Amino acid sequence: MTSASLLDDAERIGQTLVPVAEAGTPGRVNRDLVAALGRAGLLSRLFDELTARELCQVRQGLARVCPEAETAFAVQGLGGVPLQRFGSAPVRDRWVESLAKGDDIAAFALTEPDAGSDAANLKMVAESDGDGFRLSGEKTYISNAPDATVATVFARTTPDTGAKGVTAFAVPMTEVPGEPIAMLSPHPIGRWTFDGVYAGPDQVLGEVDGGFRVAMATLDLFRPSVGAFSLGMAEAALRIAVEHAQSREAFGSPIASFQGVSHQLADVRVDVEAARLLVYEAARAYDEGDEGAITGKAAIAKLHATETAQRAVDVAIQVLGARGLEADSTLAHLYKEVRAPRIYEGTSEIQRNIIARELFKGTI
């Protein structure tokens, strides 16, 4: 599977995964789907130094046809890649191969009840216990919780130091109590409660008090690909709307001939093309190590692509009318899927804050 064909290959694989995705239980990890992603070779690419551009291509291709498969792929990477890139040899040996096969399930446990966008305000503590640590606190709105078998968990090791006192850990999760949270979208989301969960010194990812670097390095890689996920959904919605506008007649003419319809779709097409360019420019900046521009470009790409996807799905539903509102329609499904990316991995408002900051710094 070459990089040039990766987008098309991901879309083709995604089409084969639709029945597996539909057989899953909403709100819980679909292990068969994760395993199928492993057998298709997509998960192994996550742990084979996948470039940001390639990550975007996979997410865009899967999102065009099977958003559930896209989400399963992305969350496996978000939770697992820090283990591969920052983990000790024992951590890598224990988890990376099984995650790449889809045998184990990963999660990225950053958000807390009082620390979402303000990730430096983490309250979960990791207190010293001999050579290791005891983790206590709550993580909530975590993708793949409570079903994940391992998580990248962020906890405070030095009090009153903001982002500088946070450490990342690789934590087995099978014995940590948790519960699912029913959400608008069918994704597996939940919370965990840590009550003195032990983490040995070899479970530290990166360095003690260096967890924020682990978080930001991971999010900088994945943020442009959130835009790619949204781009794929926008493309799917636009395709459905265009096909319907060409075939549906009203007052003796295809509704595509009405400016009220065609101009809306033209505007969506412009936004989709802009999103594509922004997403892959952010990926380029990451892959070429343009460190001064990565954060700002990733924020621009995520903001524009996620907002574009929301508009694209809304316009498509408007064009289809009542057909777009049928509960089992693709657009109704996309309508539930498309809302979350404007919130996770940094809300649209946070992206605007980042863009403004980088603008005044002169990096974008």
- Beta 106-109 vs 150-156: how paired, if at all? parallel
Confidence tier at 186 by pLDDT (50, 70, 90): confident
Written as six digits, the tokens of 23 are 């057989």
| Mean pLDDT on 4-10 | 87
Across residues 10-18, what is the average pLDDT?
97
Q: Does domain 213-361 have CATH number 1.20.810.10?
A: no
Domain boundaries, the chain: 3-101, 106-209, 213-361
User: What tokens appear for 20 in the block?
Assistant: 């597996």
What phi and psi values does residue 160 have, to the nearest 5 degrees?
60, 35
Instruction: Give the mean pLDDT of 214-229.
Output: 91
pLDDT digits (tens, 9 = 90+) for 227-245: 999 999 999 999 999 999 9
Q: Is the pLDDT of residue 3 over 70?
A: no
CATH number for the domain formed by residue range(s) 3-101: 1.10.540.10
Fold annotation for 106-209:
Butyryl-CoA Dehydrogenase, subunit A; domain 2 (2.40.110)
Query: What pLDDT is stored for residue 1 in this prediction?
Result: 47
Q: Show which residues are catalytic.
A: 345
Which amino acid makes up residue 110? L
Q: Do 213-361 and 106-209 fall under one CATH topology?
A: no
* Cα separations in angstroms, 153 against 103, 122, 187, 188, 211: 20, 11, 20, 17, 9
Share of the chain above pLDDT 70, in %: 99
